[in-house]
């Protein structure tokens, strides 16, 4: 079972490479945020697997805290890029238009 989890950890690590390439090479800001969020989700899975492999259940708490932080930051960055402010009620405002 440890071998399988080690292989899953390595597979997740290898899977980070395309996400980092996508983050660096994306032309749209939303694509970069999405790729960075997916990379952070993979890191959460890696920390949870490492926690089990090392027998350190405290690391699961760290992974959960990182996952919640990742979600909050992703929402805040997308809201900031869409509405140009964090202090807006989402139910009453429409996004600003960049084009015609």
pLDDT at 60: 92
Chain segment 21-45, per-residue pLDDT in tens: 888 888 888 888 888 888 899 999 9
Q: Is residue 89 part of a domain?
A: no
For the residues 41-56, what does the mean pLDDT come to? 90
Using alpha carbons, list the distances in angstroms from residue 58 to 47, 63, 66, 71.
Answer: 10, 9, 13, 21
Domain assignment present for residue 97? The answer is no
The domain total for the chain is 1
DSSP-derived 3-state class of residue 75: helix
Per the domain annotation, does 88 fall within a domain?
A: no
Place of tokens 């970069």: 32
pTM > 0.85: yes or no: no
SS3 category, 90: coil
Query: For residue 71, what are the domain limits?
Result: 2-83
- What's the pLDDT score for residue 68? 94
């Amino acid at each position: 079972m440890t071998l399988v989890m080690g292989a899953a950890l390595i597979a997740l690590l290898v899977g980070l490479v395309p996400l980092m390439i996508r983050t660096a090479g994306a032309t749209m800001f939303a694509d970069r945020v999405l790729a960075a969020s997916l990379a952070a989700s993979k890191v959460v899975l890696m920390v949870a697997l490492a926690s089990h492999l090392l027998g350190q259940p405290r690391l699961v708490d760290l992974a959960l805290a990182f996952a919640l932080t990742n979600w909050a930051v992703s929402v805040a960055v997308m809201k900031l890029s869409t509405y140009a402010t964090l202090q807006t009620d989402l139910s009453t405002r429409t996004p600003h238009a960049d084009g015609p």
